[in-house]
C-alpha cells in the first residue's frame, strides 16, 4: 500500500495511508456487500504497520471555538465514511468526543489548531480501536 507524508502542524509530520484506495474499496463494498472486501478494508485500517490518519490540509478555519479541517486536495470520502459508520454503528458525521468526522471535512470543538490536532489524533485512534474491538483485529 502506498503511503504519503502529510505535514499537519508546524514541523510535525505523520504517515497516512492511501485514503483514495480505501474510498475505492469502500465504493466496491457498498455495491456488492462482499465480505472479502469488507475484511480487506478492516485489515488495512487496523493493521499496526499502517497508521490510519485522515489526510488533512495544512490550512484550517478557526471560528467561535471550532476548528475546521478539509481533506488534502479538497477530496471527499463519502463511501469510506459510509463504511466507517457501518462498522462503528455510528451516524455520519461520526462524532467522537469533540470531533465531528464527515466525508468532506472534520470539525473539532477547540480554540486552536494545536489542541484540535491532538484531539483529532486521539479520536481517530478511537475509531480504529472500535473497529479492532468489533472485529477482533
Look at residue 69 in the predicted model and tell me its pLDDT: 97
Convert the pLDDT of each residue in 51-108 to its tens digit.
888 999 999 999 999 999 999 999 999 999 999 999 999 999 999 999 999 999 999 9
Convert the pLDDT of each residue in 10-28 to its tens digit.
444 444 578 999 999 999 9
Q: Model's pTM, two decimal places?
A: 0.84
Answer for the pair 4, 15: CB distance below 8 angstroms, yes or no. yes
Within the chain, strands assigned E span 3-9, 12-17, 56-63, 66-71, 94-96, 99-101, 105-108
Look at residue 78 in the predicted model and tell me its pLDDT: 97
Amino acid at each position: 500500500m502506498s503511503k504519503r507524508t502529510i505535514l499537519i502542524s508546524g514541523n510535525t509530520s505523520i504517515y497516512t495511508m492511501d485514503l483514495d484506495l480505501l474510498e475505492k474499496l469502500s465504493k466496491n463494498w457498498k455495491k456488492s456487500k462482499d465480505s472479502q472486501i469488507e475484511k480487506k478494508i478492516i485489515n488495512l485500517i487496523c493493521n499496526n504497520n499502517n497508521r490510519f490518519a485522515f489526510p488533512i490540509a495544512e490550512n484550517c478555519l478557526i471560528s467561535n471555538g471550532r476548528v475546521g479541517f478539509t481533506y488534502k486536495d479538497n477530496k471527499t470520502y463519502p463511501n469510506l465514511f459510509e463504511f466507517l459508520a457501518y462498522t462503528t454503528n455510528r451516524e455520519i458525521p461520526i462524532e467522537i468526543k469533540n470531533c465531528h468526522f464527515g466525508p468532506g471535512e472534520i470539525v473539532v470543538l477547540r480554540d486552536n489548531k494545536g489542541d484540535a490536532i491532538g484531539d483529532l489524533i486521539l479520536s481517530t485512534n478511537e475509531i480504529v480501536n472500535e473497529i479492532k474491538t468489533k472485529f477482533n483485529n
